[in-house]
Amino acid sequence: GEDVEQSLFLSVREGDSSVINCTYTDSSSTYLYWYKQEPGAGLQLLTYIFSNMDMKQDQRLTVLLNKKDKHLSLRIADTQTGDSAIYFCAGLSGGSYIPTFGRGTSLIVHP
């Protein structure tokens, strides 16, 4: 099955770019996801990328996928204090219908 790893914390200054990294183990993964969890809330899907793509951009968010290294990243441009949250990476193994989640990266944005 899939195993997803990500660092636990990231601290950035407001206005800078944030890059959150994730590695996964299953080379047959079909979809990879980024979810955001704000305090006191459930997870919210931010974006996902299909495995035949290597980049996806959506406004301030850029997802990069390196299939060779099984590495996924989420770049947030012009990070704001409202971006402070926990970001979860998840992967969907080939043949599975339910994604496997990482432990989440706490993003702290300071003035």
Partner 1 sequence: ETGVTQTPRHLVMGMTNKKSLKCEQHLGHNAMYWYKQSAKKPLELMFVYNFKEQTENNSVPSRFSPECPNSSHLFLHLHTLQPEDSALYLCASSQALAGGPNEQFFGPGTRLTVL
- Residues in contact with partner 1 by the rule CB under 8 A: 4, 31, 33, 35, 40-45, 48, 50, 88, 92, 97-99, 101-104
Q: What tokens appear for 59 in the block?
A: 């406004």
21 or 31: CB nearest partner 1: 31
1 or 111: CB nearest partner 1: 1
In the complex, minimum distance from the CB of residue 42 to partner 1, in angstroms, rounded to a whole number? 3
104 or 107: CB nearest partner 1: 104
